[in-house]
Each structure stands twice: as C-alpha cells, then as structure tokens.
C-alpha cells in the first residue's frame, strides 16, 4: 500500500473494534481477505473470525502470517505500542502506561524492529525459517569459550550518508572476519564497530566482542573516521545507541535499521511506517 493510500491511524485511546478495522484496511485494502499461503483474494467466511481460501483451501485469521499476528496482542494495544515505539518511549514506561507485562512490550518492540528490517529485501537473509534473527555471534563473555575473530561470521552492513539522507544495507559477500583483513581503520561504539569508507559506503558496520579490539588493536584508532564528520547522523547514531544501553551484538542489524528509519522519518511519519510494516506478511527466508 502506497503512503498516499495508507489509512490514517485513529486517535488514542481507541476501541478494539475500531483498531481491528483500521488494521484490516491496512492489511487488505479494498481487495478483501488475502490468503497468507497463496496470496489469493477470494475467501469465504467461517465461524470465529476465520476465513478459508477458495484456491488452496487454507484456513486463516485476519492477521495470520503477518507481523501483527506474531504476538497475542490486541489491535488497540498494537496501535499504542507503535506510537510509543515511534516516540522512543522506553519499554518499561510503555508497559506501565498500558498496563502490560514488560516482557510483552519488549517482544512487541522486537517484532516492530524485525518488520522494519524486512522492509529491506536485502536484509531478509538475516532471518531464519521462523522469521527470527539469525544469531551469528555467540555473545559469550568468557575468554576461554570465545571463538577466534578469524572465524567470526557477524554480518556487515554498509552505512551511506549523503547530504540529509542515510541508507543502511546489508553488504553482500563479506563477514566481520573479512573486514579485519581490509586496509581500513576501525572505531567502536559500545559493541558496534565502524570503519573507514569502503566501496561507496561512508562506513562499514558490524557487531564485535571486546576480543577483536585486543587482537586487532593496531586497526582501532582514536582519530575521527569519515562518518564522524557527518555530525548530524553521527550524533543521531550515538544518541540512540546510548538510549538502547548497549544492545546485544547479535541484534545490531535490527537497531541499525531502526536508526535509519528514525533518521528518515518524523515521529508521526515513523508511526505510520511502523504500522504499515506490521501489516506486512512475514517474508520467507531466502536462506
């Protein structure tokens, strides 16, 4: 659904029926029910808010196969959580305000980040068959169990900052272990490593444990990298990584794509972008 045709979300608070109607319009548009298995738009109604596809006979509910259906969260709460996420509301505060369990809000925020990530087709290979982020980094703390950086498979993303725009994309064909062999200087922010410019990108970015900063100490520099001269974006990046309080290394692709979305959109526009992403079907993994 194009931005021009995206329905405007109702004001909060909102009834469950009105919220469900909004998401139904967002998911189906004017076509009616869409089968999550075959994409056919002809289905007939069953009991208990279910439909059956006339083509493949698959039985589904309103949000089956979509990010909205990932958590058992009522539509009116999804509307509120999307608004809280767009505003940068801390999960604890959102949980308190909405009367939800903190773990539920954390899971909802993760689903939102996954939905944003998969809007970029190039990043879909970062998900497994269940639609979860593939864990490349073992994220261990003991030096005796931490593998060598030479076998690190952490994915590498490229950050391109051009005037007032920014794009974050998965850099195909290389892993973190490869970057250590490139003639590039590096710098770390928490567990995020940034590099000198490379093949049109302002910087490469990947997750890293503390071991690399010891093993490849000569590659880490105190002088500014090129991306740091893009002060507006670099301040934005630092501010949000501080806000996240050092996320797990394996989750860095989610947070980098979120930072890209926040940089590109105002809070209101980001809210609509998030709602549209939640209405997307969970894509099959190309892995």
CA distances from 123 to 180, 185, 273 (A): 22, 25, 17
Question: What pLDDT digit, counting tens, does each position of 220-259 carry?
Answer: 888 899 999 998 999 999 999 888 876 788 889 999 999 9
Residue 277 located in a structural domain = yes
Task: Report yes or no on 28 lying in a domain.
Answer: no
- Which of 232, 247, 262 is the C-terminal boundary of a domain? 247
User: Are residues 108 and 172 both part of a single domain?
Assistant: no
Work out the percent of the chain whose per-residue pLDDT is above 70: 91
Instruction: Tell me how far CA of residue 140 lies from CA of 145, 146, 147, 148, 175, in angstroms.
Output: 7, 6, 9, 12, 19
* Residue 18 in domain: no
Residues 262 and 231 in one domain: no
- Does 229 share its domain with 271? no
Q: What is the mean pLDDT of the chain?
A: 89
Residues 228, 90: one domain? no
230 inside domain = yes
Domain range for 83: 65-134+252-287
Is 6 contained in some domain?
A: no
CB burial of 195-211 (b: ≥16 within 10 Å; e: otherwise) equals: bbbbeebbbbbbbbbee
Torsion, Cα 229 233 235 236, to 10 degrees, reads -170
- Into how many domains does the chain fold? 2
Q: Are residues 127 and 256 in the same domain?
A: yes
Whether residues 204 and 279 share a domain: the answer is: no
**Do both 127 and 258 map to the same domain?**
yes
Where the chain has pLDDT below 50, the residues are 2-4, 140
Q: How confident is the model at residue 2, as a pLDDT? A: 47
Task: Yes or no: say if 229 and 206 are a contact pair by the CB < 8 Å rule.
Answer: no
259, 211 contact by CB (below 8 A): no
- Using alpha carbons only, what angle is made at residue 150 by residues 285 and 161, rounded to the nearest 5 degrees? 60
Q: What is the DSSP string of 72-93?
A: ---HHHHHHHHHHHHHT--HHH
For residue 166, is it within any domain? yes
Predicted confidence (pLDDT) per residue in 16-28, tens digit: 999 999 999 999 9
Same domain, 74 and 101: yes
Structural domain contains residue 17: no
């Amino acid at each position: 659904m194009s931005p021009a045709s995206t329905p405007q979300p109702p004001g909060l608070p909102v009834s469950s029926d009105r919220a469900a109607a909004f998401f139904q319009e967002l998911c189906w548009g004017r076509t009616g029910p869409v089968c999550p298995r075959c994409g056919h738009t002809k289905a007939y109604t069953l009991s208990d808010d279910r439909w059956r596809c006339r083509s493949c006979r698959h039985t589904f509910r309103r949000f089956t196969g979509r990010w909205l259906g990932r958590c058992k969260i009522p539509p009116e709460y999804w509307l509120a959580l999307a608004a809280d996420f767009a505003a940068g509301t801390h999960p604890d505060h959102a949980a308190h305000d909405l009367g939800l369990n903190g773990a539920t809000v954390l899971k909802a925020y993760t689903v939102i980040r996954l939905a944003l990530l998969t809007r970029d087709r190039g990043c879909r290979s970062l998900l497994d068959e269940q639609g979860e982020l593939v864990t490349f980094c073992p994220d261990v703390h003991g030096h005796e169990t931490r593998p060598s950086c030479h076998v690190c498979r952490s994915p590498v993303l490229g950050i391109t900052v051009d005037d007032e725009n920014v794009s974050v994309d998965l850099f195909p064909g290389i892993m973190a272990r490869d970057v250590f062999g490139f003639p590039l200087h590096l710098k770390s922010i928490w567990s995020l490593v940034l590099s000198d410019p490379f093949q049109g990108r302002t910087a490469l970015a990947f997750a890293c444990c503390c071991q690399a900063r010891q093993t490849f100490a000569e590659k880490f520099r105190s002088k500014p990298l090129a991306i740091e001269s893009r002060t507006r974006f670099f301040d934005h990046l630092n501010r949000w990584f501080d806000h996240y309080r050092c996320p797990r290394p394996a989750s860095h692709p989610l947070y980098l794509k979120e930072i890209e979305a926040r940089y590109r959109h105002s809070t209101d526009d980001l809210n609509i972008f998030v709602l549209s992403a939640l209405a997307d079907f969970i894509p099959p993994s190309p892995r």
